[in-house]
Structure 1
Amino acid sequence: MKIAFLGLGTMGFPMAANLVRAGYAVRAWNRSPAPVERLAALGAQAAATPAEAAADADVLISMLADDDATETSLLDAGALAALRPGAIHVNMATISVALALRLAGLHQARGVAYVAAPVLGRVNVAEAGQLNILAAGEEQALAAVQPLLDVLGQKTWRLGRQPEQANAAKLAMNFMIASAIGAMSEAVALVQGYGLDKAGFIELATSTAFAAPVYKGYGQAIADDRFEPAGFKLALGLKDVRLALEAGEQAHVPLSLASALRDLHIDGLAHGEGHLDWAALSRASARRAGQA
């Protein structure tokens, strides 16, 4: 099976590397060449363009930053056009529902199967091949790529036959993560307003009622004021909250919490914190409470 891989960023590189280590033939492209060279050192082939990567591929996997990067690589740079009829494209990026619908139609017109498979997990989870994969698409295409997904993740959650269903689920999950970070940020500001130590409060919360990975991981970062290196940038969190709001509007579903979270994220970007980890959302709450 010949695999093309587009996007060797923070998440894409370890995912592609795991496929190479599993013995798959991978031809990879990335906007900057350094990650491609690193992957080539592991045994992958380097491609100069997205179209070159996709040519003759049985499966194209893309893990690109956002809608713009996805459209540019797949459509403007010709990756989709280079795929042969009968090939499968697995889009593992977090994109808008609107783009997912558009891509599904474009793939169908070319005779290329389209699977949406965004992931849950940070870099260390990707490196370990333990991602949770939210997948939707035609059953035959999902079955064909399942061995690849098994290399990348601990479980594939099959959510439906329409690719946009997986994207809606991923946006809903990221909205919940943003809500958890936002709630912790304001709760920490509250207890600090009464002279309590935030690290002790986070330990209390994550050892009792909120003993879950999202609260533990982001809570510890908030307690330690540890926002670099970013596992997931605050600016990308804003992108996902906006996409959730767009998806809600399209389905006539009000997301009032998401509107408040959007403004909190914008506060962070206005203070030059977009490059920091998502946990840096706590800084905006601290500023609003006069604690920063």
Structure 2
Amino acid sequence: MDIGFLGLGRMGQAMAANLVKAGHTVRVWNRSPEAANGIEGATRVATAAEAFRGDAAITMLADDAALRSVIVEGGLLDGAERPAVHVSMSTVAVALARELAPIHERAGVAYVAAPVFGRPEAAANAALNIVAAGDDAAITKVQPLLDAMGAKTWRFGSEPSAANAVKLAGNFMIVSAIEAMGEASAFAEGHGVSKAALLDLLTNTLFASPVYKGYGALIAEDRYEPPGFTLRLGAKDIRLVLAAAEGAGVPMPFASVLRDNLIDAISHGDGERDFAALATVAARRSGQS
């Protein structure tokens, strides 16, 4: 397939590279052009418009503001050449997804929301779990692209915003797990028990799942750099969770606690460290660091 890929952060670079490996013709664009240098076999283009055409265009942009700036304010949906399908793989607000769907429909471009679960190493190994929602025929059309980037695609109906709601629900649970491990670790160390020993036990027995094992290992080793996913981006996601919860009239009191603890971590200089650094908040409050 002839595709464009917009947004080449650590996740986007790996995802675009896997599309090239799968034999697709890939045009890549990023605001910082040097990000495209390491994607062998892809064609670097100078403007977003050159990428936003073909059989499909995939966006993996940082946040709501970036997606809106490039796609809507950048006038890409008004261009002479437009893709058949736009696959938005960023973690963005439910409200933005609801806004984008009719705009794409008026432009004659199918809109598929397909955010992902997985850190950069999963992206590099084409092992992402992809949450897709939108027109069923459009998802089927781009399924070969999703298969090249992920281990499995989970479909959640015809309304694109549903995929974003699922992604935010999952991210809320991930942050909750990190917070729980941080508090449990501080509790154990307060009683003379090594957090590494505690997390080794729990993440290999009661909580033997990828999130607990992966983030638990980082917490046990105090290994927060280099970041696979920054704490600042995690804070952005919790803000999106709270906004979507308010919009649906759903109280999420623990999400508010997580937001405040993330602000605490950022205020102490941890914003660009790995997401797992949220665990340092409980340790610092208990006088352990």
- TM-score interval (norm. to shorter): over 0.9
Contact 1:51-1:81 within 8 A present in 2 as well: no
Distance in 2, Cα, partners of 1:188 & 1:144: 47
2:8 maps to a residue whose letter is: L
Q: Per-residue CA shift, 1:69-108, capped at 9, x if unaligned?
A: 1111112223333374671000000000011011111101
Q: Which residue of 2 aligns with 1:65?
A: 62
Q: Which residue of 2 aligns with 1:184?
A: 181
**Residue from 88, 99, 118 that aligns with 1:121:** 118
Secondary structure at 1:11 match in 2 = helix
Secondary structure at 1:165 match in 2 = helix
Distance in 2, Cα, partners of 1:131 & 1:71: 25
Q: Which residue of 1 aligns with 2:47?
A: 49
Contact 1:83-1:112 within 8 A present in 2 as well: no
Q: Which residue of 2 aligns with 1:218?
A: 215
Distance in 2, Cα, partners of 1:110 & 1:92: 20
1:9 maps to a residue whose letter is: G
1:253 aligns with 2:225: no
Relative distance call for 1:38 and 1:83 in structure 2 (3 A) is farther
1:72-87 matches, cutoff 5 A: 72-82=69-79, 84=81, 87=84
1:1-292 matches, cutoff 5 A: 1-39=1-39, 42-54=40-52, 56-82=53-79, 84=81, 87-292=84-289
Secondary structure at 1:254 match in 2 = coil
2:133 maps to a residue whose letter is: A
- Deviation of 1:141 (Å): 0.3
Q: Per-residue CA shift, 1:194-232, capped at 9, x if unaligned?
A: 111110011111111111110011011001000011011
Distance in 2, Cα, partners of 1:26 & 1:291: 49
Distance in 2, Cα, partners of 1:224 & 1:52: 44
2:103 maps to a residue whose letter is: L
Contact 2:134-2:157 within 8 A present in 1 as well: yes
- Deviation of 1:289 (Å): 1.2
Distance in 2, Cα, partners of 1:84 & 1:163: 23
2:109 maps to a residue whose letter is: V
Structure 1 runs of 4+ aligned residues shifted over 2 Å read 76-86
Aligned-residue Cα RMSD (Å) equals: 1.1
* TM-score scaled by length of structure 1: 0.97
Contact 2:5-2:27 within 8 A present in 1 as well: yes
Secondary structure at 1:284 match in 2 = helix
Secondary structure at 1:161 match in 2 = coil
Contiguous gaps of at least 5 residues in structure 1: none
Distance in 2, Cα, partners of 1:36 & 1:57: 19
Contact 2:54-2:82 within 8 A present in 1 as well: no
- Deviation of 1:44 (Å): 1.2
Distance in 2, Cα, partners of 1:81 & 1:53: 14
Contiguous gaps of at least 5 residues in structure 2: none
Relative distance call for 1:85 and 1:44 in structure 2 (3 A) is closer
Contact 1:181-1:215 within 8 A present in 2 as well: yes
Distance in 1, Cα, partners of 2:140 & 2:90: 20
2:167 maps to a residue whose letter is: K
Contact 2:56-2:84 within 8 A present in 1 as well: yes
